[in-house]
Structure 1
């Protein structure tokens, strides 16, 4: 396994909606395939491109991966975490973003990159996600951050 030579920047986005039937906040996750963290669940997102702002990256990656078009003005920064993945010999700074969408648009979600996702995108509550095998940056976020925005 080749050792990563430079720290990379990843952007993960909590795409959420409030379910009108039960009032619960749900967010989008998928099971990773074909890259580091394979078989774990993570947020849609990807690498920050040179000269790209966080909101544009989140907007671009969400469209590329899920077919959802986010309003850039409504995408919010949550935090950044330092993720050192010793077992995989990788080091990332992960930027976490947030965007709440209208319930009526959740049907637009499609798997746009089947080579990177096992199965389909799933809408989960914070209670449900705590029982899954999570991608290490998302696991660290859940262990260390205030999750009240997901209630």
Structure 2
């Protein structure tokens, strides 16, 4: 091991891969307030853990459907962030793959299908996002990234 070896008893010794989906509608993105243990009370885009053998695009479509009931299309890779949550109750390290997509049917309405994990979904202007942001998304925003360019 290198100089950053694991500490005994450390909760999350291995990095995990998350997929965040920037669902765009006009000039807005879909976001909800997290209720999960990591990033509780922060705003995030739909997403979740990459499953074994799954492509980023498959994960994006599955997670958006599970969380919001929405069907998405034009699914494309945007970028990735690398975040260590050392100040959380259960420290964790996530590589987050950001994907952009649009609604398969623009008339669809987002539903809150996992109320134990999210307070609900709403559309926000990229230039006026709610605060505080989930750390991987905050890193993306602070880098100057714009999903509309």
Query: Which residue number corresponds to residue 143 of structure 1?
Result: 142
Tell me the SS of whatever aligns to 1:100.
strand
Query: Which residue number corresponds to residue 97 of structure 2?
Result: 95
User: Where is the helix percentage greater, Structure 1 or Structure 2?
Assistant: 1
Query: Which residue number corresponds to residue 112 of structure 1?
Result: 113
Query: Which residue number corresponds to residue 38 of structure 2?
Result: 36
Match 1:53 to one of 46, 50, 55:
55
The question of whether the paired residues in 1 share the 8 Å contact of 2:72 and 2:104 is answered with no
Gaps of 5+ in 1: 19-24
In the alignment, the residues of structure 2 paired with residue 82 and residue 112 of structure 1 have an alpha-carbon distance, to the nearest angstrom, of 28
Query: Which residue number corresponds to residue 3 of structure 2?
Result: none
In the alignment, the residues of structure 1 paired with residue 29 and residue 93 of structure 2 have an alpha-carbon distance, to the nearest angstrom, of 26
Post-superposition Cα deviations, 1:105-147, rounded to whole Å, max 9, x if no partner, equal 3x421000010012x2010001221x51000000001011431
After TM superposition, the runs of 4+ consecutive aligned structure 1 residues lying more than 3 A away are none
Query: Which residue number corresponds to residue 86 of structure 2?
Result: 86
Bigger Rg, which one: 2
**Does residue 16 of the first structure (1) align with residue 15 of the second (2)?**
no
In the alignment, the residues of structure 2 paired with residue 82 and residue 34 of structure 1 have an alpha-carbon distance, to the nearest angstrom, of 19
TM-score, normalised to structure 2's length?
Answer: 0.86
Tell me the SS of whatever aligns to 1:82.
strand
Q: Tell me which moved more, 30-39 or 46-55.
A: 30-39
Once the two structures are TM-superposed, the CA of residue 85 in structure 1 deviates from its matched residue by: 1.5
TM-score, normalised to structure 1's length?
Answer: 0.85
Between Structure 1 and Structure 2, how many residues are aligned? Answer: 139
What is the CA RMSD across the aligned residues, in angstroms? 1.8
Gaps of 5+ in 2: 1-8
Post-superposition Cα deviations, 1:42-75, rounded to whole Å, max 9, x if no partner, equal 010000000100000000000000000113xx10
The question of whether the paired residues in 2 share the 8 Å contact of 1:17 and 1:103 is answered with no
